[in-house]
């Protein structure tokens, strides 16, 4: 079916284009009533439990889980692109290290984009050669940006490690335990695709102009960097990291509830029910925190969450994925200001899938604006 076929002739929508169906998609189903997130038919909890990040990225991009041969080719292709252009790392030396890691990361990506192969091509063959390069370069540059926060030089990749273990190695300079890796990988898998949220929509607009896939990803990252969007996991973790004990946190949460504070990491435009991604990550976060002697963080999180959900769940406000990913990234030793980066890395997969799905038939996206004449 052509992507445009889903467009009804007449639609009703709110500001922010809420409720407007932009295109048909076969990539994911976000069920905000029954609390389900499905990639290409598979529930996300089953994918997180049984699959690697590489398998899930293949699934999201191509529509099916890879067979043995496709899987090993995809892993090889990802591994081939682990070394981004040197110029991108060099640019770190002149970027102020107090800039937000996402801004540093973005700058490295814009420099890397000056050195991409087949820069002028936007035909489908060339576009399909790009996802592996984009994912692997992004991972290496993201790790470099995180190292730069502590004024450390980037590390070379380790070929014997898979995508997520290698990313953690390049970011942390240590080989992580199997528990750490599976917690991190689960966080990447549940965040790898989420429909036409603002960032994916920005990417879709850019690809619709005939731009290259990397340019679309850069636009998506722009939207993601906003505090309303991808920056929320950092803010959510900062909120709960100021407390010594659960009781103190509970008192704070009650007070904030009274004052109508908008808690980062809670509530969602689509989910008016528990966010299915949270359930997947709960045991990972709890166990990982316990293994690092950080059980109190889990207790504080649970106390705050119970207060907020107790008060606001009748209004459809529950903890969303941003409330919990920090509880995996913190015990791994990632700096708090870098928390948005793994999310960004994972969800590039979904943006690329939406772009590649839209491209063959999609018209250039250009809505209208109504000129308001009242004073």
- Is the Cβ–Cβ distance between 23 and 6 less than 8 Å? yes
- DSSP readout, 301-326? HHHHHHHHHHHHGGGT--B-GGGTTH
In the range 224-253, which residues lie near other proteins by CB under 8 A?
224-230
- Shortest Å, Cβ 8 to other proteins: 7
Beta strands 28-31; 42-43: pairing state: unpaired
In the range 110-129, which residues lie near other proteins by CB under 8 A?
110-111, 113-115, 119, 122
335 binds other proteins, rule: CB under 8 A: no
Helix (H, G, I), strand (E, B) or coil at 39: strand
- Shortest Å, Cβ 154 to other proteins: 17
Q: Which of 84, 101, 154, 331 binds other proteins (CB under 8 A)?
A: 101
Q: Which of 54, 180, 212, 307 binds other proteins (CB under 8 A)?
A: 212
Single out the residue of 85, 40, 92, 38 nearest to residue 62, CA to CA: 40
Q: Give the whole-angstrom CA distance, residue 142 versus residue 139.
A: 5
In the range 173-192, which residues lie near other proteins by CB under 8 A?
none
Q: Give the whole-angstrom CA distance, residue 250 versus residue 276.
A: 24
Q: Which of 190, 206, 356, 359 binds other proteins (CB under 8 A)?
A: 206
- Is the Cβ–Cβ distance between 64 and 76 less than 8 Å? no
15 binds other proteins, rule: CB under 8 A: yes
364 binds other proteins, rule: CB under 8 A: yes
Which bin fits 100, alpha (ψ -120 to 50), beta or left (φ > 0)? beta
CA dihedral 155, 172, 100, 226 (to 10 degrees): 110
Residue closer to other proteins, measured from CB, 277 or 305:
277
Q: Any bridge partners for residue 266, and if so which?
A: 319
- Shortest Å, Cβ 101 to other proteins: 7
Q: Which of 37, 40, 317, 341 binds other proteins (CB under 8 A)?
A: 40
In the range 266-325, which residues lie near other proteins by CB under 8 A?
269-270
Q: Give the whole-angstrom CA distance, residue 234 versus residue 20.
A: 30
- Shortest Å, Cβ 206 to other proteins: 5
- Shortest Å, Cβ 344 to other proteins: 12
Residue closer to other proteins, measured from CB, 112 or 346:
112
98 binds other proteins, rule: CB under 8 A: yes
Q: Which stretch binds other proteins (CB under 8 A): 13-21, 156-164, 166-174, 295-303?
A: 13-21
CB atoms within 10 A of CB 80: 11
């Amino acid at each position: 079916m052509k992507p445009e076929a889903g467009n009804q002739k007449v639609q009703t929508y709110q500001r922010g284009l809420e409720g407007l169906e932009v295109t048909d998609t076969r990539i994911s189903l976000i069920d905000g009533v029954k609390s389900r997130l499905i990639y290409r038919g598979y529930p996300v909890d089953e994918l997180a439990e049984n699959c690697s990040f590489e398998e899930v990225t293949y699934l999201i991009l191509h529509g099916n889980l890879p067979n043995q041969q496709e899987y090993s080719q995809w892993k090889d292709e990802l591994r081939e692109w682990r070394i981004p252009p040197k110029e991108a790392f060099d640019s770190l030396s002149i970027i102020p290290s107090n800039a937000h890691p996402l801004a540093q990361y973005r700058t490295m990506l814009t420099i890397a984009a000056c050195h991409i192969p087949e820069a002028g091509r936007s035909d489908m063959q060339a576009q399909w050669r790009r996802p592996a390069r984009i994912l692997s370069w992004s991972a290496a540059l993201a790790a470099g940006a995180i190292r730069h926060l502590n004024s450390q030089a980037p590390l070379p990749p380790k070929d014997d490690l898979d995508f997520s273990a290698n990313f953690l190695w390049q970011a942390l300079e240590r080989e992580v335990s199997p528990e750490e890796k599976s917690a991190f990988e689960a966080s990447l898998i549940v965040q790898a695709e989420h429909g036409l949220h603002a960032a994916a929509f920005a990417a879709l607009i850019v690809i619709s102009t005939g731009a290259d896939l990397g340019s679309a990803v850069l636009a998506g990252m722009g939207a993601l960097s906003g505090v309303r969007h991808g920056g929320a996991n950092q803010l959510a973790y900062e909120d709960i990291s100021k407390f010594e004990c659960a009781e103190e946190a509970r008192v704070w949460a009650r007070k904030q509830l009274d004052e109508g504070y908008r808690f980062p990491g809670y509530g969602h435009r689509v989910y008016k029910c528990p966010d299915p991604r949270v359930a997947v990550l709960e045991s990972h976060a709890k166990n990982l925190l316990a293994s690092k002697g950080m059980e109190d963080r889990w207790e504080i999180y649970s106390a705050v969450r119970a207060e907020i959900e107790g008060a606001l769940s009748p209004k459809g406000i529950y903890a969303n994925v941003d409330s919990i990913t920090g509880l995996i990234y913190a015990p791994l030793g990632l700096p708090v200001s870098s928390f948005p980066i793994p999310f960004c890395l994972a969800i590039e997969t979904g943006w690329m899938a939406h772009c590649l799905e839209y491209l063959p038939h999609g018209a250039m996206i250009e809505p209208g604006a109504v000129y308001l004449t009242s004073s």
